[in-house]
Structure 1
């Protein structure tokens, strides 16, 4: 009986991990390759081979020289007549024309520099929608959302949300490097995104952050702010659903990766939510908090760097830990300087302000000025830190990408740079805003 259940569970896992499900979802959403998708659907063997490093990443197309497909002949003819290079017509074998846009993956692979293969987008709305969804789990979103929320909405909620985000992303990245499952094989999957293709796949950290952030945002704000519960739940669910589906659309994760990331994130939130008040109070008030914050985050980074060879996940992990450490240190400084005090219990629940052009302009001004300070901080610290660390450890700094693959450079570089960004986001920027009357 137990053996049957185990066998059924294993079969279910293999079924959910099958890349064919990802490929079918992409086809349903109007994503297909320019010339091999039809062959794969009809069972014709393909000459493409997956990326060995990732168990089937982006493939290299091989065929006799001079052998053009009908589609290429048509596209070449269109290009010769001066048509736009990015948009064209795709026709099926029976001659029925289907409108579509031939595009490249969104960003090249950050580790290998691979730009990936061209593919056809037949539904631009879904392409833009899922591109937005996947960006909700990328660095640009994090460096925009957390500061904006901190400067314009609620610093109390923001700093606690960052604690959850750090733990979710850290545990997710470490789990990836322990399990070491490859990305869905291509073919049959189309790689709409290439940036994270060198990382492992299980679990999806996009799904984890896309679950933890909206869920904790709802848990931390409901009752503290006045808004309808149904509205908060709908927004949280929509956010989570969009991010999870976007990773399948992008060809970055199997269904199993998404389900595992969703459940793993729920588990982490359940475990850490009761401790948020203790952690936040310790970070702000305990005299040894700065030493503990630095030691903990550096120790976690050192542990994660021993799990596997260098990849983009190593830098991402250190970057997340550095940002979390900087914000935690800033909360300690703010508490002792009396900056950004939490509202008293008698002031709760808080009421959202009335929307107006002046409020919108003030929030936008804070955001733009604050982001400029953070970008300047990042650029200055990066320019100073990498050469300094390379000099200390005797590592050539001519090739920055190669130098950063050394643990001795990557770890202190990410910690110092993003620790400074986190510190300035929660301390320096609000400090300046208060003194110029913007906060």
Structure 2
């Protein structure tokens, strides 16, 4: 019942917001106030940057890499394959939720970043250059860093016997920030993923609708690409865990440093698993690049591609084009990116653990 209500509410929101042009109206109303605070806050940013030091530049550059896509490609599998499946799946869902909400707010407001110069931007890596293209307010990397560190700390405090006045103070502070989201992920969503009905079909429909519910920014930014990738990861994790929970992800699975999962065995898992998930990601991308344009052209859905498919391979026209709004063209890159990351995440929790079983790892 609740699944139909949620999906129906999202469809209703998509239709109403498109018809009423809600995003643009809200942006026009709030953007002057946001721009004013960006201007008056520039001096404060410059004061902070007056403490410039080479070590800080290296630190923030490293932090940018730590919460990048390559990092999650290795870090989340490490958690799943070391026996911490509960931590890994709940952290993934929390970061996906916060990433979506944060990027929606950011692209609705389309708040400018402080002008550079005089504000200095650290763009030593390609990831940092891409992040600089996002609108103001917390970047995707900031959202992921806060969720990652906050949830790791929450997990450690709730699963260990660490005590003390500083720990209590930290726990209270953390609870004020994360109690609502963590409680939602810990209890309702996680139990639904493990033992709910129609989980995979519902999550697939939810992921598909969330792509259309995402607000259109004033100018194109990488934020939607980041959300699409994490949306695909969440779907792959949910689908894989729901199907194989009692085989590979229950609470009694061996954990790292235990008698059943030693360091050599874990290293063997990494050596076998990492190349496998990268191969699945490559195959998923190639398959999506072939299937999605064929299906779209068969249905007559107008599509475009900015990077994945050559323009001469894209055909336009068809019966459904008459039913779509004029000049409405769908970016096929979104579907390709979504499928490749969903395939990668599914292989982490389903395919690779099956290989571990066959190889006695």
State TM-score, norm by structure 1. 0.59
Aligned residues of 2:108 and 2:217 also touching (Cα < 8 A): yes
Relative to total residues, which structure has the larger helix share, 1 or 2? 2
Deviation by residue 1:315-372 (Cα, 9 ceiling, x = unmatched): 111111110011011111112x52222139xxxxx997379xx944433332232221
CA distance in 2, matches of 1:393, 1:305: 23
Instruction: Name the structure 2 match of 1:26.
Output: 49
**1:134 has 2:67 as partner:** no
What SS does the aligned partner of 2:116 have? coil
- Consecutive unaligned residues of structure 2, counting only runs of 5 or more, are 1-32, 124-128, 298-302, 315-328
CA distance in 2, matches of 1:428, 1:136: 26
Shift of 1:221: 3.7
**1:200 has 2:135 as partner:** yes
Q: Aligned in 2, Cα 1:284/1:353: closer, same or farther, shift over 3 Å?
A: same
**1:281 has 2:184 as partner:** no
**1:302 has 2:212 as partner:** yes
State TM-score, norm by structure 2. 0.71
**Counterparts in 2 of 1:130-209, with a 5 A limit?**
130-193=60-123, 194-209=129-144
Q: Which has the higher contact order (CA 8 A, sep 6+)?
A: 2
Of 337, 356, 360, the residue aligned with 1:433 is 356
Shift of 1:137: 2.5
CA distance in 1, matches of 2:152, 2:306: 43
Q: Aligned in 2, Cα 1:231/1:382: closer, same or farther, shift over 3 Å?
A: farther
What SS does the aligned partner of 2:119 have? coil
Instruction: Name the structure 2 match of 1:213.
Output: 148
**Counterparts in 2 of 1:214-229, with a 5 A limit?**
214-224=149-159, 226=160, 228-229=162-163
CA distance in 2, matches of 1:400, 1:385: 10
What SS does the aligned partner of 2:131 have? coil
- Aligned residue pairs total 298
RMSD, aligned CA: 3.6
Shift of 1:435: 2.0
CA distance in 2, matches of 1:29, 1:233: 32
Q: Aligned in 2, Cα 1:318/1:126: closer, same or farther, shift over 3 Å?
A: same
Aligned residues of 1:218 and 1:232 also touching (Cα < 8 A): no
Instruction: Name the structure 2 match of 1:374.
Output: 277
Shift of 1:409: 0.5
**Counterparts in 2 of 1:4-403, with a 5 A limit?**
14=37, 18-30=41-53, 123=54, 125-193=55-123, 194-224=129-159, 226=160, 228-229=162-163, 269-276=178-185, 277-304=187-214, 306=216, 310-335=220-245, 338-343=247-252, 353=257, 359-394=262-297, 395=303, 400=308
CA distance in 2, matches of 1:338, 1:374: 19
Shift of 1:201: 1.4
Shift of 1:172: 0.8
Aligned residues of 1:385 and 1:416 also touching (Cα < 8 A): yes
Q: Aligned in 2, Cα 1:421/1:214: closer, same or farther, shift over 3 Å?
A: same
- Consecutive unaligned residues of structure 1, counting only runs of 5 or more, are 1-9, 31-122, 238-261, 345-349
Q: Aligned in 2, Cα 1:368/1:200: closer, same or farther, shift over 3 Å?
A: farther
CA distance in 2, matches of 1:367, 1:16: 48
Instruction: Name the structure 1 match of 2:332.
Output: 409
Instruction: Name the structure 2 match of 1:84.
Output: none
Larger radius of gyration: 1
CA distance in 1, matches of 2:136, 2:273: 34
What SS does the aligned partner of 1:328 have? helix
Deviation by residue 1:18-64 (Cα, 9 ceiling, x = unmatched): 3343344334223xxxxxxxxxxxxxxxxxxxxxxxxxxxxxxxxxx
CA distance in 1, matches of 2:309, 2:333: 10
